Structure formats: C-alpha cells, structure tokens
C-alpha cells in the first residue's frame, strides 16, 4: 500500500464526507460563525415590519388618489353647474338691459311729448 491509498473501511476527510451546514448547526461543540439566528416573532421581524409599512403606505396612497379623483369629479360637476348658472344670469342681465333701454326710450318719448304739449 502506498501513501496515496486509503485502507478499506476508513472514513475520508474530503469534502464529500464533510457534514453539511444543517448538520453542523446541530452538532454539539461546534462554533458557528456569523450572526446568530434567533427566532423572531413576526411582529418583531424588521423585514415583515417593512413590508407592513409598505402595504400601509400603499393603502394610504391609493386612498388619497381615490379621494383626489372623486374631488376632481365633484369639482367638474360643480363647475358645470356654476357655468349654467352664470349663463342664466347673463341672459337675465341682457333681458333687464333691454327692458331698461325700452323704458328709457318710452320715458324720453313721454318727456319729449310733454314738452311739445306745454309749448
């Protein structure tokens, strides 16, 4: 047997026989490197809190956008109503101006007629 051959029945220490990370985490006496993996309740998990805050923000944003759309619709309706009212008021003003012009003409005619009668 040479130095490169392993005797039959011995365990090799090559990478194929090393224990996996799952095995090493349960192996007693092993020291794990890196951050300790602690059980964190869902409410305390920063990642789930971030998701929750994003969902809350998205919900608030969608509610604000819906409100703005409703406001635009109601403002558009109010604008149309006011435009109709302005149109009616302009027609009323025009009619009153014509009536005033007719009365002025009538009064001028009456005044002229009375001057002719007195002279």
Phi, psi of 64 (to 5 degrees): -65, -40
> Which tokens is 110 given?
């009456």
Distance CA 24, CA 38 (A): 17
Q: What is the mean pLDDT of residues 45-67?
A: 89
Query: Contact at 8 Å (CB) between 27 and 19?
Result: yes
pLDDT tens-digit readout, 70-84: 999 999 999 999 999
Measure CA of the first residue to CA of the last residue in the chain; give whole Å.
Answer: 159
- Look at residue 15 in the predicted model and tell me its pLDDT: 47
Confidence of residue 21 (pLDDT cuts 50, 70, 90): low
Query: Contact at 8 Å (CB) between 22 and 15?
Result: no
């Amino acid at each position: 047997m040479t130095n490169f051959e392993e005797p039959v029945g011995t365990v090799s220490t090559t990478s194929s026989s090393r224990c996996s990370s799952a095995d090493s985490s349960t192996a007693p006496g092993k020291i794990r490197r890196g951050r300790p993996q602690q059980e964190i309740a869902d409410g305390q998990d920063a990642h789930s809190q971030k998701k929750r805050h994003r969902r809350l923000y998205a919900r608030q944003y969608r509610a604000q956008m819906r409100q703005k759309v409703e406001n635009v619709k109601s403002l558009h309706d109010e604008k149309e109503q006011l435009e109709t009212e302005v149109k009616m008021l302009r027609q009323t003003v025009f009619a009153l101006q014509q009536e005033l012009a007719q009365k002025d003409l009538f009064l001028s005619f009456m005044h002229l007629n009375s001057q002719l009668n007195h002279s």
